[in-house]
Amino acid sequence: MNKILKSVSIRIGLDDTDHPEIGCTTEKFDNLIRTIESELDVHVRERRLVRLWPFAERRTRGNGALGAVVEIPEQNYDTLEEICRNWFSELLSLVEHYPSAKFKPSPCVVISRTPTTDEWYWSSVRGHVDATERYEEVHRSGCLVLSSESIWGVVGASAAVSWTPDYFSSWELIAWRFSSNIGTPRKVDIAAVNELEKLHPETFLNRDPTKGKGLIAPRTPCPVLYGIRGSSQDAVTDAHEWLQKRHDVEDCLRYATHLTNQLSDDHIESQKSGTVISSPDEIRGGHSHVFAFTGREPVKLVAFHEGGPVNRLLRSLQPGDIVSWAGLNSPDGSIHLEKLCLEMQTPRIVGRPLCCSKTMRSAGRGQGLRCSTCGKIEPKYWLSQSANESCGAVQGAWVEPSPSNRRHLARPLSLRLHGVKVIPETPVKLS
């Protein structure tokens, strides 16, 4: 009788291999997974792309970590560990020769044989994490940690192994370029991107219609050709295969699909409401802010020029307006707005009524308004204007920045009322 081999699920996380000019953590992680597959009997259940706290001091271009859940025969774990150690040693020798940059890459791999606390994920997506404390905590948990003398990458790597996809998770297919093409302009025609959105409606954020530009191809000299986001693994794979058949899109070297926390709003603790208690204050560059009272304390709401509709609505607010917002708590205590809604507005006084093309004036105490031309008398009242007329907003409707000015984690308003269904057990498709 053949002995039945017991399989175990292993979680692997990687972060901080990026450099502004060369390399990419997604490409390095793909290399690791393919190395494991070539040397070991392994089933890759899923890959994961986890975006982190947007204010992190050492954030990379995409500010994301990579993870995977793999299944191997239990007796093969030591071999898996050896493969990862050898691969990591080669990675360290490679990043040592990267050009100078503000932050030197600090690669870290975390390997977990058992489920980890999801607090590693939530703390990493919503605030600052002390790398030393996280490193010690991950070690105490029994995880294997591979790192250089610098341990910054442990924050993202531990977040990648602790994140659990949910109803609001989505998919991203990442395609990588041939090495000979890296550094040259990407061939991804805007006509292809426009048609992609029409023919593959389950994909999203392919382009910014307000600026007439595509959003799937990065503009940095990294190995990524493009990334396609969508509601299912099949949706992004079908879209990729369609693109690769076109003559106006560059051929890719390889690709992989990832479950991701993008578009989840996981970085935002909750939606809040309050009453505006100050007039808008605009500073150089078009950025603006107001103060609002939540019932417990005043908070500073900040909208940047790049926020477009959010910035315009904030600049139209007046004391007494009731607003709701979703935004990121910044280190200085202010809220950087990502979505804003004018729930109820106070009247905007614009002047007295007109008569004979002139403004009517008070005729004296208790005597109403008088027209100086025809002598007509009317009761005293003021004319008002809604905030809608000044900024184009609709009372009770939310506004958000254009697609190209949103964070990876920000959930578009078009997706707020329905989740993106995911099936975590589906095996990842590879080229």
Give SS3 for 177. coil
pLDDT, residue 372, reads 87
pLDDT, residue 423, reads 35
Give SS3 for 119. helix
Give SS3 for 196. helix
Distance separating alpha carbons of residues 93 and 51, to the nearest angstrom? 26
Pairing between β-strand 377-378 and β-strand 383-385 as defined by DSSP bridges = unpaired
Distance separating alpha carbons of residues 321 and 277, to the nearest angstrom? 8
Q: How do residues 246-292 score in pLDDT, each as one tens digit?
A: 999 999 999 999 999 999 999 998 899 999 999 999 987 789 999 99
Give me the DSSP letters along 323-384: EEEEEEE-TTS-EEEEEEEEEE---EEEEPPEETTEE-EE-STTS-EE-TTT--EE----EE
H, E, C per residue of 124-151: HHHCCCCHHHHHHHHHHCCCEEEECCCC
Give SS3 for 107. coil
Please state, in angstroms and as integers, the Cα–Cα distance from residue 394 to each residue in 6, 84, 309, 321, 390, following that order.
59, 55, 11, 13, 11
pLDDT, residue 345, reads 84
Mean pLDDT for the stretch of residues 55-70 = 85
Global pTM value: 0.85
Ordered structural domains, the chain, with CATH: 7-162 (3.30.70.2200), 170-260 (3.30.70), 272-345+386-406 (2.40.50.1010), 348-384 (no CATH)
Q: Is the pLDDT of residue 1 over 50?
A: no
Helix extents (H) in 200-263: 233-244
- Centroid of chain to Cα 118: 19
Could you tell me which residues come within 8 angstroms of residue 226 by beta carbon, excluding any fewer than 6 positions away?
174, 175, 186, 188, 216, 217, 218, 243
* Helix pair angle (131-140, 119-126), 10° resolution: 170
Q: How do residues 373-415 score in pLDDT, each as one tens digit?
A: 888 888 887 776 665 555 556 778 899 999 989 999 999 888 7
Which tokens go with 359? 């403004």
CA geometry: angle at 59 spanning 57 and 63, to 5°?
A: 150
Q: Is the pLDDT of residue 100 over 90?
A: no
Distance separating alpha carbons of residues 389 and 392, to the nearest angstrom? 6
Distance separating alpha carbons of residues 51 and 276, to the nearest angstrom? 32
pLDDT band per the 50, 70, 90 thresholds, residue 424: very low
Could you tell me which residues come within 8 angstroms of residue 310 by beta carbon, excluding any fewer than 6 positions away?
303, 337, 338, 339, 340, 399, 400, 401
Percentage of the chain modeled with pLDDT above 70: 89
Percentage of the chain modeled with pLDDT above 90: 63
Q: Is the pLDDT of residue 429 over 50?
A: no
Comparing CA positions, the residue from 326, 348, 328, 343 lying closest to residue 412 is 326
Comparing CA positions, the residue from 71, 28, 66, 61 lying closest to residue 427 is 71
Q: Is the pLDDT of residue 167 over 90?
A: no
Q: Is the pLDDT of residue 431 over 60?
A: no
Task: Mean pLDDT check: name the lowest of 20-24, 302-306, 330-334, 359-363.
Answer: 20-24
pLDDT, residue 95, reads 75
Q: How many CA atoms lie within 13 A of 68 on its CB side?
A: 26
pLDDT, residue 150, reads 86
Q: Is the pLDDT of residue 421 over 50?
A: no
Q: Which residue has the higher pLDDT, 269 or 137?
A: 137
H, E, C per residue of 265-334: CCCCCCCEEEEECCCCEECCCCCEEEEEECCCCEEEEEECHHHCHHHHHHHHCCCCCEEEEEEEECCCCC
Other beta carbons within 10 Å of 234: 14
Mean pLDDT for the stretch of residues 150-164 = 94
- Cβ-in-10-Å burial (0-12, 13-18, 19+) of 87 comes to middle
Q: Contact, 231 vs 189, CB < 8 A?
A: no
Q: Is the pLDDT of residue 334 over 90?
A: yes
Q: How do residues 284-322 score in pLDDT, each as one tens digit?
A: 778 999 999 998 889 999 999 999 999 999 998 999 999
Q: Contact, 12 vs 110, CB < 8 A?
A: yes
Distance separating alpha carbons of residues 35 and 173, to the nearest angstrom? 20
pLDDT, residue 18, reads 76
Distance separating alpha carbons of residues 95 and 256, to the nearest angstrom? 23
Q: Contact, 64 vs 25, CB < 8 A?
A: yes
